[in-house]
Chain A
Amino acid sequence: MMLHFKGIANARVHRLAFLWATGVFFWAGCASLTPSGRDQAALFPRMEGWKLLDDVRTYTPETLYEYINGAAVGYLAYDFQELHVAEYRRKKQASVLVEIYRHLTPAHAFGIYSQERPREGPFLDIGAQGYCEVPLLNFIVGEHYVKINGAGDPPASETLLETFSHALVAALGGKTGLPPVLACFPEELRLPDSEMFVARNFLGYGFLHSGYTAEYRIDDQYFKLFIIEGTDRQDCQQMVESYAELTQYPEVVEEGPLHTFTDPYHGEVTLAWKGNYIWGALDLADSQERSRYLSSIETGLSKLQPDM
């Protein structure tokens, strides 16, 4: 009898071992398929009166294209990491779809958000910043760009969308701010909320990698200020050296002073660099104004990094 049970027990152990092995091989075959759909649901907070549907979908850089078509290119340019999509339902008709895009850093999340936000506010104090256009509410928090779509029947109210957004902010780590570098752009003549972050190919050059810009306007003339945040001094030096080679303006490698030179595509560019920052102006003809604006940026950056 004991032997019989032992035999059954052994058979069970073998079966379990087989299943375990199958599972392990399957997981290995799926390569980084964590978290599973059931774990992903933990990203989405419980909402009273709402049922979170089980079918949480996840998209990766390789598959995002098949969810949002050509728009994926823009997200990939901002180092998109993954997207989780879930739907909440209430009484069958009402539906709220939540998309949580995770990017490499908060700056990258801000970058794609800044491409899509409206030109003018009002903006909401949700996460780092958000805006609502019923039935949509979009916001950023940390490295996440969250989109809430309440276009069910009936459509969600602004109050309901905000309730969802606050719960999501809490679930994603709590309130965060905009990238600190943005505060270094002078306010005078700046177009409201024109600040952007370009994650790669800044100014159309691969060697400049990423940069922040803000747009300004004097009468009918627009100009741009920019700040490039390098990883360290050497990184910035390499960037200016490449730029010097392109523009045939070797003086730009000198750290500290303002340099004005001709870029083959952008025309007259003025920039300076120090430590891990490069900052400059495009399309600003008045040299005194250039000096004033760029000096203001330097002051801001030195507050941000006193040992710059």
Chain B
Amino acid sequence: MKAAKAVGRKDFIKKSFAGAAGIAFVGSARASLHNTEPPLQQSERKIIYRTLGKTGLKLPIVSMGVMNSDNPALIAAALDNGIVHLDTAHGYMRGRNEEIIGRVLKGRPRDSFVIATKIADDKMESAKETEKVFLDRFNLSLKRLGLDYVEILYLHSTSNRADTLHEPFLNALQAARKSGKTRFVGVSTHSRQPEVIQAAIDSKIYDVVLTGYNFTDSGSGVLREAIAKAAKAGLGIVAMKTLGGGTRRGVTVNPKAALKWVLQDTNVHTTIPGFTTFDQLHTDLSVMEDLALTREEQEDLKLQGSVPGLYCLGCETCTGQCPKNLPIPDMMRAYMYTYGHRNLGAAQDLLLSLDVSSDPCRGCPGCTVSCAKGFDVAERISDVVRLRDVPSSFIA
């Protein structure tokens, strides 16, 4: 590999996999990445490892989500600098992502990396066809990667219990595992994660859960609890979307702080941040060795976490909590139409269809509604309800 090697590959593997206790000591001569980041000369690196649940795989806490990188040199640099686990998917860049990884892996010892890929949860006309299409796609992924097997095969991006437990998908996953083309199977989820995670636990089939998880989930603790339950059940937990989108309504997220926040939860075994520059790689590598949040990082997270986003999950946990029995999910939807979709017409139409006054919270001493996403429900209601009184001609 042409990239400057901070750690000899064989040395790295030998040393890192010796770190069964959780921390491995790895000699490093990190390459000069950029003039803004001076190299760390021959420092001793203490990479933190965690075991991926019942798979027994010991992984550094920082892995690489390759989705947005079409730069083979960057992937090679990640592997050469201590990252072991690469996460991709059949659909990323229409397969080019897997091909690029395949080229980078060529010539590397098979036990020096851990690969995960994902196949979409597309349902065909029959169960048999669903299984076949799933497995055909997986075989194509292996071919692109140039591998006989991967460590983890995920069912890609499910958002409910039914899809997570859909029998043809489970059959296909088990067939792939039985054939030896994947060592472990998992499910990935971006939305309604607690429901999907519970289904994964109940299935007794999944080994790993890949879930969106970041500091914006700190509000209700529902997801944190689901992750804890899954980890206790022996599932490996991989966290993605650790930056929460990179910006929160214009506030740029501190990537190092966000990554550390996720990893403070020891039930998370590894993370897959997606970096696209050598500088970003450098930043993430530093988190691999030091999880302590500085005061400044804590302040950044507080600021960023105070912006919980615009989108109501529609989970309806708020239903029935309001003493005035206001249709809160609908009003949160109107708020989302207004500020998220910028569709004032739809928001006003929705508000006018609801049986609420222009001052619906009048008389309430304080709001007792607890939103799963941490929205300040009373504030949002008083904000959006003003739209009822704006002449339609201002909006149309």
Chain A residues in the interface with B (C-beta under 8 A): 19-20, 22-23, 25-27, 29-30, 33-38, 40, 54-63, 65-66, 69-70, 72-74, 76-77, 115-119, 196, 198, 200-201, 203-207, 222, 242, 245-246, 264-268
Residues of A within 8 A of B395 (CB): 36, 38
How distant is B20 from chain A, measured CB to nearest CB, in Å? Answer: 31
> Given that A59-B340, A201-B276 are contacting pairs, would A70 and B190 also be in contact in the complex, using a CB cutoff of 8 Å?
yes
Task: Apart from A62-B245, A70-B274, A200-B276, list 15 A-B contacts with CB within 8 A.
Answer: A22-B390, A36-B396, A40-B343, A66-B311, A69-B212, A70-B241, A73-B67, A73-B274, A115-B93, A198-B70, A206-B279, A242-B35, A246-B32, A264-B32, A267-B3
Per the bound structure, the CA–CA distance linking A117 and B344 in Å amounts to: 34
Q: Is B277 an interface residue (CB 8 A)?
A: yes
Q: Is B337 an interface residue (CB 8 A)?
A: yes
Per the bound structure, the CA–CA distance linking A38 and B31 in Å amounts to: 55
Contact of B340 with A55 in the complex, beta carbons under 8 Å: no
Residues of A within 8 A of B311 (CB): 63, 66
| Interface size, B (range) | 35 or more
Per the bound structure, the CA–CA distance linking A8 and B103 in Å amounts to: 79
How distant is B299 from chain A, measured CB to nearest CB, in Å? Answer: 21
> Given that A73-B68, A116-B94, A264-B32 are contacting pairs, would A37 and B344 also be in contact in the complex, using a CB cutoff of 8 Å?
yes
Residue of A nearest to B340 (CB): A63
Per the bound structure, the CA–CA distance linking A77 and B240 in Å amounts to: 18
How distant is B338 from chain A, measured CB to nearest CB, in Å? Answer: 7
Per the bound structure, the CA–CA distance linking A182 and B67 in Å amounts to: 25
Residues of B within 8 A of A268 (CB): 2
Q: Is B180 an interface residue (CB 8 A)?
A: no
Contact of B346 with A77 in the complex, beta carbons under 8 Å: no
Residues of B within 8 A of A35 (CB): 342
Per the bound structure, the CA–CA distance linking A55 and B247 in Å amounts to: 26
Which residue in B70, B337, B346, B389 is a CB contact (below 8 Å) of A19? B389
Contact of A62 with B249 in the complex, beta carbons under 8 Å: yes
Per the bound structure, the CA–CA distance linking A69 and B189 in Å amounts to: 10
Residues of B within 8 A of A72 (CB): 245
How distant is A3 from chain B, measured CB to nearest CB, in Å? Answer: 27
Contact of A23 with B343 in the complex, beta carbons under 8 Å: no
Residues of A within 8 A of B344 (CB): 30, 33, 36-37
Per the bound structure, the CA–CA distance linking A22 and B338 in Å amounts to: 15
Docked complex: B67-85 residues within 8 A CB-CB of A: 67-68, 70-71, 73-74, 76-77
Residue of B nearest to A73 (CB): B68
Residues of B within 8 A of A56 (CB): 341, 343, 346
The 16 listed contacts between A and B (C-beta, < 8 Å) are A25-B386, A27-B394, A33-B339, A36-B343, A37-B346, A37-B347, A38-B345, A54-B345, A55-B346, A62-B247, A66-B340, A73-B67, A201-B276, A203-B71, A207-B34, A242-B35
How distant is A54 from chain B, measured CB to nearest CB, in Å? Answer: 7
Per the bound structure, the CA–CA distance linking A75 and B164 in Å amounts to: 28
Contact of A19 with B391 in the complex, beta carbons under 8 Å: yes
Residues of A within 8 A of B387 (CB): 26
Among A54, A63, A116, A268, find the residue whose CB has the most chain B CB atoms closer than 10 A. A63
B96-113 contact mask (Cβ, 8 Å, vs A): 1 or 0: 100000010000000000
Per the bound structure, the CA–CA distance linking A289 and B191 in Å amounts to: 51
Among A25, A115, A201, find the residue whose CB has the most chain B CB atoms closer than 10 A. A201
How distant is B281 from chain A, measured CB to nearest CB, in Å? Answer: 8
Per the bound structure, the CA–CA distance linking A118 and B96 in Å amounts to: 9
Contact of B2 with A266 in the complex, beta carbons under 8 Å: yes
How distant is A138 from chain B, measured CB to nearest CB, in Å? Answer: 11
Q: Is B25 an interface residue (CB 8 A)?
A: no
Q: Is B383 an interface residue (CB 8 A)?
A: yes
Contact of B343 with A66 in the complex, beta carbons under 8 Å: no
Residues of A within 8 A of B33 (CB): 264
Residue of B nearest to A247 (CB): B32
The 9 closest A-B pairs by CB, nearest first: A37-B343, A267-B2, A65-B245, A57-B341, A265-B73, A69-B190, A264-B4, A58-B342, A37-B345
Residues of A within 8 A of B342 (CB): 30, 33-37, 40, 58, 60
Per the bound structure, the CA–CA distance linking A265 and B32 in Å amounts to: 10
Residue of B nearest to A267 (CB): B2
Residues of A within 8 A of B246 (CB): 65, 73, 76
Q: Is B250 an interface residue (CB 8 A)?
A: yes
Per the bound structure, the CA–CA distance linking A38 and B345 in Å amounts to: 6
Q: Is B123 an interface residue (CB 8 A)?
A: no
Which residue in B2, B31, B191 is a CB contact (below 8 Å) of A69? B191
Q: Is B157 an interface residue (CB 8 A)?
A: yes
Per the bound structure, the CA–CA distance linking A68 and B100 in Å amounts to: 24
Which residue in B3, B96, B240, B249 is a CB contact (below 8 Å) of A265? B3
Among B191, B250, B390, find the residue whose CB has the most chain A CB atoms closer than 10 A. B390
Residue of B nearest to A268 (CB): B2
Per the bound structure, the CA–CA distance linking A118 and B389 in Å amounts to: 50
> Given that A63-B310, A246-B35 are contacting pairs, would A265 and B341 also be in contact in the complex, using a CB cutoff of 8 Å?
no
Contact of B35 with A265 in the complex, beta carbons under 8 Å: no
B241-275 contact mask (Cβ, 8 Å, vs A): 1 or 0: 10011111110000000000000000000000010
Among A38, A69, A265, A267, find the residue whose CB has the most chain B CB atoms closer than 10 A. A265
Residues of B within 8 A of A30 (CB): 338-339, 342, 344
Which residue in A29, A204, A266 is a CB contact (below 8 Å) of B277? A204
Residues of A within 8 A of B247 (CB): 61-62
Contact of A54 with B346 in the complex, beta carbons under 8 Å: yes
Residues of B within 8 A of A29 (CB): 383
Per the bound structure, the CA–CA distance linking A54 and B391 in Å amounts to: 18
Contact of A203 with B73 in the complex, beta carbons under 8 Å: yes
Contact of A70 with B67 in the complex, beta carbons under 8 Å: yes
Contact of A205 with B4 in the complex, beta carbons under 8 Å: no
How distant is B159 from chain A, measured CB to nearest CB, in Å? Answer: 10
Among B67, B395, B396, find the residue whose CB has the most chain A CB atoms closer than 10 A. B395
How distant is B357 from chain A, measured CB to nearest CB, in Å? Answer: 15
Contact of B309 with A66 in the complex, beta carbons under 8 Å: yes
> Given that A38-B395, A265-B2 are contacting pairs, would A118 and B94 also be in contact in the complex, using a CB cutoff of 8 Å?
yes
B153-190 contact mask (Cβ, 8 Å, vs A): 1 or 0: 00001000000000000000000000000000000001
> Given that A33-B339, A56-B343, A77-B276 are contacting pairs, would A264 and B3 also be in contact in the complex, using a CB cutoff of 8 Å?
yes
Docked complex: B334-366 residues within 8 A CB-CB of A: 337-347, 349
B227-238 contact mask (Cβ, 8 Å, vs A): 1 or 0: 000000000000
